[in-house]
Amino acid sequence: MTIRTKAPLGAPCWADLWTPDVEGSRKFYSELFGWEALEPSPEFGGYFMFARDNVPVAGGMGDMGDMAADNMWKIYFDTNDIAATVDAAQKNAAQIRFPAVAVADLGTQAVLMDPGGATLGAWQAGTFPGFTVLEEHGAPSWFELHTRNHAGAVEFYRDVFHWQTTAMSDSDEFRYTTASDASGEDLLTGIMDAKSFLSEGARDQWSIYWYVDDADAAAANAKALGGSVVMEPQDTPFGRLATLRDPSGAYFKLRATAA
């Protein structure tokens, strides 16, 4: 278990779900992970938080006026200068989906689309640091980008979020890079070359792995709650992993200690 007061610079620090079925998603994830779905906030357009042991762990939002929810989990990355981060992203061919805007005194957010089409957020914390617990049941565990342009993605995130990157494997069969913060001390994310298995027309995409005590039991529970299993739980060198969809079709992943 990792407990922190603030994310390292450049680290994933928050995740939220933009869902077309707010009530269904609130029920599904609460029953799957043991979260509590807190009340939506009219002040923030109906945005709500999920809490784990009374500590915020993720957010959620429905359609925004005439903007339909994209039915995806979005990961936010910590920055101490969101204007500079947005500027660097634009200079490196990113698109700005939502410009930087203050969220009361909680912090300032922006939503970007990287050159491969993956959606991500940037967060400059004020009073709200994001999630503070990792590697516990129902808490975040790992974050991973699947991309068709591995070298380009590594360069983009290194330039924008000041990551140090290490090629864990660099063959046509398996090309994977891990990223650490600027100090090189905290391992943050992975970037996978996915051009061989991303479906035609699919954009690059970030994924979040939620830690669970038992991946098989959680996958079975997800199916019973109306979700579906895309990749059945299987042991890997990185733990027992599974890929699921919630009842609305949003992808997410599970990670547990290998059996």
Q: Note the pLDDT tens digit of each residue in 13-52.
A: 999 999 999 999 999 999 999 999 999 999 999 999 999 9
Question: Minimal CA–CA distance to 58: which of 16, 27, 28?
Answer: 16
Predicted local distance difference test score (pLDDT) of residue 258: 82
Q: Three-class SS of residue 83? A: helix
Superfamily grouping for domain 2-132: 2,3-Dihydroxybiphenyl 1,2-Dioxygenase, domain 1 (3.10.180.10)
Indicate the Cα dihedral angle 200, 201, 204, 207, nearest 10°. -70
Domain boundaries, the chain: 2-132
Are 181 and 163 within 8 A, CB to CB? yes
Beta bridge partners of 237: none
Question: Minimal CA–CA distance to 139: which of 61, 257, 51, 69?
Answer: 51
Task: Give tens-digit pLDDT for 165-197.
Answer: 999 888 888 899 999 998 888 899 999 999 888
d(CA 166, CA 99): 31
Task: Give tens-digit pLDDT for 102-118.
Answer: 999 999 999 999 999 99
Please give the model's pTM, rounded to 2 decimal places.
0.96
